[in-house]
């Protein structure tokens, strides 16, 4: 007799399928709380972009200030990561309820729970950025270098292979490092532990399913990139067809793309992390979900 998927270790594609299924189920009831959390960040980002547009060029030569350009890029990245993390955090209680088939709470009750767990979640995010960021950037540099070499010096077919190699090295590094943090947020809510304890536990759970989790995260990264590029392409098409030249409107549309992408990707991240958390506990600890899901943490 085949073992139900919820009570056996999932394969990489099953983890992604389960995560996306959770995202589809919780999206309708998480739109409002996500907007409440993301909108202030989006407004701050738009104001930052507007300020940058006014100071990015030298008033005498018209040249772009490269230092400000780099600083602005870092600020944009951090705000986008913060918004994505906030969206995933907002969706986490709903994903846990959906996965465990427990009665759904009102989104206002979930926001109250989020407020109590927010300090621990912020600590988890800081540790993850400090751990994944430097090592991930090293992998990105290596991936760009190797992929570029293969692309430049190989024939057309191998040039495509070079792009694939570069992608795998760049995002594979981030995926491998992120594997150790995917269970941290579910741990915070299910086991009600501190931020440091959640990180330590996530390292143990993530390491137990390293290859499967890395593969699932690579797929998640690829889907997120495609979704963002599709939205960005739609905006660029709109700008081209409507001949919109206002920098303020272009900036607002860019922020809107970020908000829409975050609201699509955030639930998927929460869903995949939820599936990974329970999958790791099934494999590492022999968790019997049919019993455990009926008991409060």
Element (H, E) at 89: helix 66-100
Q: pLDDT tens, position by position, for the chain (297 residues)? A: 344 445 556 788 889 999 999 999 999 989 988 998 898 888 888 887 777 666 555 555 555 555 666 667 677 777 888 888 899 999 999 999 888 888 777 777 777 888 888 889 989 988 888 887 776 666 556 655 555 555 545 444 455 555 566 666 667 778 888 899 999 999 999 888 999 999 999 999 998 889 899 999 989 988 888 888 888 888 777 766 766 666 667 777 778 888 888 999 999 999 999 999 988 888 777 765 544 545 444
pLDDT at 297: 43
- Kindly list the domain boundaries of the chain, sorted by start residue: 10-292
- Helix/strand/coil for 64: strand
C-alpha dist (Å) from residue 259 to 129, 165, 234, 277: 21, 30, 14, 27
CA angle, corner 77, sides to 76 and 79, nearest 5?
Answer: 65
Q: What is the separation of C-alpha 150 from the centre of its chain, rounded to a whole number of angstroms?
A: 29
CB 57 within 8 A of CB 63: yes
What string of DSSP letters covers 177-246?
A: HHGGGTTHHHHHHHT---HHHHHHHHHHHHHHTHHHHHHHHHHHHHHHHHHHHHHHHHHHHHHHHHT---
Q: Residues, the chain, total?
A: 297
Phi, psi of 64, deg, nearest 5: -75, 130
CB 56 within 8 A of CB 257: no
């Amino acid at each position: 007799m085949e073992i139900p998927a919820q009570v056996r270790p999932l394969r990489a594609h099953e983890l992604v399928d389960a995560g996306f299924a959770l995202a589809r189920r919780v999206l309708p009831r998480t739109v409002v709380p996500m907007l409440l959390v993301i909108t202030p960040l989006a407004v701050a980002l738009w104001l930052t972009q507007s300020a940058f547009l006014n100071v990015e060029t030298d008033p005498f030569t018209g040249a772009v200030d490269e230092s400000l350009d780099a600083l602005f890029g870092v600020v944009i990245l951090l705000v986008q990561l913060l918004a994505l993390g906030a969206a995933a955090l907002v969706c986490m209680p709903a994903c846990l309820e959906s996965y465990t088939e427990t009665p759904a709470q009102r989104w206002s009750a979930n926001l109250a729970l989020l407020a109590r767990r927010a300090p621990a979640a912020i600590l988890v995010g800081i540790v993850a950025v400090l751990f994944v960021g430097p090592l991930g950037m090293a992998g990105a540099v290596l991936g760009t270098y190797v992929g570029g070499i293969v692309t430049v010096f190989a024939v057309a077919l191998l040039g495509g292979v070079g792009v694939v190699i570069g992608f795998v090295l760049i995002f594979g590094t981030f995926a491998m490092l992120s594997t150790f943090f995917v269970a941290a947020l579910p741990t915070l809510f299910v086991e009600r532990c501190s931020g440091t304890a959640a990180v330590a536990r996530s390292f143990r759970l993530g390491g137990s399913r390293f290859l499967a989790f890395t593969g699932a995260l690579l797929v998640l990264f690829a889907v997120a990139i495609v979704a963002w590029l599709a939205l960005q392409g739609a905006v660029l098409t709109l700008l081209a067809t409507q001949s919109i030249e206002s920098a303020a409107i272009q900036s607002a549309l860019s922020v809107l793309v970020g908000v829409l992408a975050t609201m699509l990707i955030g639930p998927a991240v929460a869903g995949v992390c939820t599936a990974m958390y329970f999958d790791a506990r099934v494999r590492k600890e022999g968790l019997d979900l049919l019993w455990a899901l009926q008991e409060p943490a």
